[in-house]
A and B are shown apart, each in its own frame.
Chain A
């Protein structure tokens, strides 16, 4: 008998040890449930992190744009409209008004981690007889590369952007027969023209992006696109990606700009993530419920089996509260040990599945994310579930009339 344990703990543990087979079966049941929760949570977290990383390392969390240019009806005197038919004007490339002031405001917001102005527009890339239409992205590498991880896509050369440097996609390089170190003539529709040196080749894993996307320094793009001192967008990276829509709305309401969050521009992707989270939560709830009912069923049977013991304990002065506690402890202990075994089971399944499940190109299907926190929370939750599940049987045991209990 453990000298340091309180009475209720001594009895509860002995009861569990005496019904060894029963205890083992329910712990196996709990551990399977907990294992499923750990495995699913970790795998879905990994998959989700992977998808989000893929989506959000190739685009800004929020993009600030100048407002749409609108045509106003021509008026002749007060309330007299001369021509009521208004044609939507073509959207010229214009700068975000007072972008430097807005930039300072955004940099002061604690929820924003990176602010990167860009000057983007269309251009023509020519090399010899070949020419291709390209998207010219003028960026400050020290900020923009933190928003869109361009260096991660570099397959050749270096991710450097001096005034005459240009980074292009591998498909464009192939089309133009160019390689790192070659010169490229870039012209724009407003007459801007420059000869730039290919400093690196990028592979975004998407043929369209690889044949169009190019990156130059912000000043180079500004001069080519004829927007000296101006920027077409301000790209933001956030600390909490899921707060993007709220932050975008706040920015939009405080400034004369359009703020598009990744949630808005990737609505379908975000809906899929939310559906996945909901499914994950529902699975957790139902597995948790089945674990809880399993524990409750075993303890209800235990109360019936132990009714005589309960009667004797009551006769020797054990209070109703103590009887209740000793069954609650059993529930908690079953939940705790079940969660330990389940966490180990889930962990092993995760490691095995990570090693076995591969994508078509041989890369991992999901990153192996084993968070210690997940195991701690699962153990706490399973113990709490055990306690809650034991509540009904414990109350039943505490309410037993000792005379009836002893009579059996």
Chain B
């Protein structure tokens, strides 16, 4: 069996614990993902998919349970350590592209590499060019997000998510805001990235056709993994 890249053990998430407005969003979630796997997470709105993705992406902390990424337990880590881990091991693609409008497509892709000063600007630019080329957008590399279509922006967001060559790429409904053709194109890009690299992809979608093309589907209902 391939190495586990992600292990969730009895993850619970409760918002406002002990208060009248307490809401339990995730209940004893167990999940394992292996290196290079492409997993779809499906479920109705409000079932806890995005919360689960935020916890896996180390943007949020679970109320209880443990989470390991590539064998490293994240439970006792400080905020700065989680930030470092997030920057090096995890890539994000959101439903809305969320490119930084002050920068061009190329610069947006360079951004994660410049954050911790690990890359020289020249090297970062070289890699960003390769990634922009890989997502087929060399011709708009110097355009700002406002000058690109939704599909193009999402492709740039994927390139940015791959900039640090992450172990896991977390995609939160990246096709949810695109027309059918663009959605298919973005999904195919993710599939191709997954096949040609060792990056595992966790893909939230409501689209059953796309979900079926993933290695497996995890159904989340009312904060629990049901299949």
Contacts and interface: CB of A to CB of B under 8 A. Distances in A.
Interface of A: 1, 3, 6-7, 10-11, 14-15, 17-18, 308-309, 311-320, 322, 402-403, 406
Contacts of B31: none
A314 B114 contact: no
Contact of A317 (B54, B60, B86): B86
A306 to B, nearest CB: 9
B155 interface: no
19 contacts: A1-B107, A1-B125, A7-B115, A10-B114, A14-B102, A309-B100, A309-B102, A313-B100, A313-B111, A314-B83, A316-B115, A316-B160, A316-B163, A317-B164, A318-B115, A319-B83, A320-B80, A320-B83, A406-B98
A314 B83 CA distance: 7
Contact of A403 (B54, B80, B87, B112): B54
B115 A315 contact: no
Given A14-B103, A316-B115, A322-B115, 6 more contacts: A308-B98, A312-B94, A313-B100, A315-B57, A316-B86, A316-B92
B191 interface: no
Residue with the highest number of chain A CB atoms closer than 10 Å, among B80, B94, B114, B122: B114
Contacts of A7: 114-115, 117
Residue with the highest number of chain A CB atoms closer than 10 Å, among B57, B86, B164: B86
Closest 7 pairs (CB-CB, A-B): A317-B87, A18-B102, A14-B102, A316-B112, A3-B121, A7-B114, A402-B59
B127 interface: no
Nearest to A320: B79
Contacts of B101: 18, 309
B59 A319 contact: no
Contacts of B111: 313, 316
A3 B102 contact: no
Contact of B59 (A1, A6, A315, A322): A315
B102 A15 contact: yes
B3 interface: no
A311 B100 CA distance: 11
Interface string B97-110: 01011110001001
A333 to B, nearest CB: 14
Nearest to A6: B117
Given A3-B121, A406-B98, A315 B84 contact: no
A403 B92 CA distance: 12
Given A17-B102, A18-B101, A315 B110 contact: no
B55 to A, nearest CB: 10
Interface in B110-139: 110-112, 114-117, 121-122, 125
A406 B112 contact: no
A319 B94 CA distance: 20
Residue with the highest number of chain B CB atoms closer than 10 Å, among A7, A312, A403, A406: A312
A286 B101 CA distance: 37
A311 B94 CA distance: 11
A320 B84 CA distance: 11
Contacts of B60: 403
Interface string B155-171: 00000100110000000
Interface in B146-205: 160, 163-164
Contacts of B10: none
Residue with the highest number of chain B CB atoms closer than 10 Å, among A17, A315, A320, A322: A315
A162 B111 CA distance: 84
B154 to A, nearest CB: 14
B67 to A, nearest CB: 15
A11 B102 CA distance: 8
Contacts of A308: 98
Residue with the highest number of chain B CB atoms closer than 10 Å, among A7, A17, A314: A7
Nearest to A318: B115
A313 B103 contact: no
A319 B60 CA distance: 15
B157 to A, nearest CB: 9
Contacts of A312: 92, 94, 98, 100
Contacts of B163: 316
Interface in B48-76: 54, 57, 59-60
Given A1-B107, A1-B110, A14-B103, A315 B86 contact: yes
B88 interface: yes
Contacts of B83: 314, 317-320
B88 A315 contact: no
Given A3-B122, A406-B98, A315 B117 contact: no
A316 B111 CA distance: 8
B102 A317 contact: no
B121 A316 contact: no
Residue with the highest number of chain B CB atoms closer than 10 Å, among A308, A314, A403: A403
Nearest to B124: A1
A317 B121 contact: no
A296 to B, nearest CB: 21
Contacts of A406: 59, 94, 98
Nearest to B97: A312
